[in-house]
Every structure is written in structure tokens, then in C-alpha cells.
């Protein structure tokens, strides 16, 4: 799924590679530390979620493994890297 690279997705992947599992809020904080100008809108959390959701949905529709796996811890959804997807590894 390298047709159109997503900078946000790549930054999220690198953040999760360092920290193993993070919520979207925590990922946004890490991304802003790395590249403070990457988000243009008022709600960076929603922007990141939207990009990840759409790209993961495309992967599944194309028969590929999703890049991220989610699980719910308390009231937050936590993301971690899917070890079966070798796209960024």
C-alpha cells in the first residue's frame, strides 16, 4: 500500500516503535514533538484518527494485514504495531 505515503502514518509508526502502545492522544503529542507543523487543523487528534482509519480500511479491503492493532484499555483505544504487517519493518 505504498501508492501514496502518509507522513502521519509513518510518524505514528515510529512513535509506536519507540513506545510499543499509545493512545491517539499520546501519539499526537509525540508527533508534535517531532514535527510541530504537520497538523493544520484545530483537532489534530481527529485528523490523525481519520488518516489511520481510512488507510487501515483500504488495507483490509485489498486483502492486506492492517498496520496497527487496537485494543480498549479503560476508556481509551490503544494502538500498537501489527507484527504480521511487514510494510514498514
Q: Tell me the CATH number at 36.
A: 1.10.10
Cα–Cα distance between 49 and 63 in angstroms, integer?
21
What is the rounded average pLDDT of the residues 48-61?
93
Flag whether 13 is in a domain: yes
> Quick one: pLDDT at residue 23?
95
Query: Residue 20 contacts by C-beta under 8 Å, 6 or more apart in sequence?
Result: 80
Query: What pTM did the predictor assign?
Result: 0.86
Residues 6 or more apart whose Cβ sits within 8 Å of residue 21:
71, 78, 79, 80
In a domain, 19, yes or no: yes
- Rounded to whole angstroms, the Cα distance separating 68 from 80 reads 6
Nearest alpha carbon to residue 13 among 69, 88, 76, 66: 88
What residues make up the domain containing 15?
7-81
Q: What is the pLDDT of residues 6-43, one digit of tens each?
A: 899 999 999 999 999 999 999 999 999 999 999 988 99
Is residue 3 predicted with pLDDT exceeding 60? Answer: no
Count structural domains, the chain. 1
Amino acid at each position: 500500500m505504498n501508492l501514496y505515503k502518509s507522513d502521519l502514518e509513518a510518524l505514528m509508526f515510529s512513535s509506536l516503535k519507540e513506545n510499543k502502545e499509545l493512545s491517539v492522544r499520546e501519539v499526537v503529542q509525540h508527533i508534535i514533538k517531532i514535527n510541530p507543523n504537520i497538523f493544520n487543523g484545530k483537532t489534530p487528534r481527529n485528523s490523525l484518527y481519520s488518516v489511520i482509519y481510512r488507510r487501515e480500511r483500504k488495507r483490509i479491503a485489498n486483502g492486506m494485514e492492517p498496520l496497527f492493532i487496537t485494543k480498549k484499555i479503560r476508556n481509551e483505544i490503544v494502538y500498537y504495531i501489527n507484527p504480521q504487517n511487514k510494510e514498514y519493518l
